[in-house]
Amino acid sequence: MNNELNHPKRCPWCGDAPDYQAYHDQVWGRPVYDSQDLFAKLCLDGQQAGLSWITILRKQAAYEEAFFGFDPERLHAIQGAEREAFIANQMTNAGIVRNRLKIESVFRNADGFIAIERSGTQFSDFIWQFVNHQVVDNCPQSMADIATDTEASKAMSKALKKAGFNFVGPTICYAFMQATGLVNDHLAFCHVRQVLDTAKN
């Protein structure tokens, strides 16, 4: 028992790094319903494209500082020449991934977020509709049982792109769904699954 408390069983993808284990234990797979929090995570997942998530996780604080805590209203308000100057300035920011298309995507996504909300739909409702507003619990037995995309993530990707978002392909959308708890893909033996199951009851 003491050994399990000191060395709880985790999904193997988080490895031995303390910060990655903390992310796995405290963040990944826990349902998120706040619209701005969902927006922030989607933007960060887009920055991950072609990279490992741990790279972005370790830059998260720098991203939050650079992009006003991913406040979509504030980002959307920056337009035209001011936006171009902001992007050019962030291209010199060593704390983030200095990829112009990825930096631009944060603004494109903010514009999309505002368009969705102004249409009368809360962004949280827009996102959760793809799982019928209920957590999909896959209870995988091994990493081999975990998908990289699903019909739901494909539908989410298509709808987000239509709204103006980018860096939101089906694989990124599925990673986002896992991270924000729309999908519970903690392995069957993982100690976090017990916590999440308890929270449901």
**Token digits for 40?**
């922030």
Which residues sit in the known binding site for Zn(2+)? 11, 24, 186, 190
Report yes or no: 184 and 138 within 8 Å, Cβ to Cβ.
yes
Determine what percent of the chain is predicted with pLDDT higher than 70.
Answer: 95
* pLDDT, tens digit (0-9, with 9 covering 90-100), for 37-90: 999 999 999 999 889 999 999 999 999 999 999 999 999 999 999 999 999 999
Compute the distance between CA of residue 58 and CA of residue 150 in angstroms, rounded to an integer. 28
pLDDT at 194 over 60: yes
Domain ranges of the chain: 2-200
pTM of the model as a whole: 0.94
Could you report the per-residue pLDDT of 151-182, keeping only the tens digit for each?
999 999 999 999 999 999 999 999 999 999 99
The CATH topology of domain 2-200 is Endonuclease III; domain 1 (1.10.340)
Average pLDDT in the chain: 94
Answer whether 92's CB lies under 8 Å from 62's CB: no
Closest CA to 160 of 29, 64, 57, 45: 45
Binding residues: 11, 24, 186, 190
Tokens 């112009």 identify what position? 100
Question: Which ranges in the chain belong to alpha helices (H)?
Answer: 2-6, 18-26, 35-47, 53-57, 60-66, 72-77, 80-90, 100-118, 123-128, 151-162, 170-179, 191-200
d(CA 188, CA 142) in angstroms, rounded, equals 8
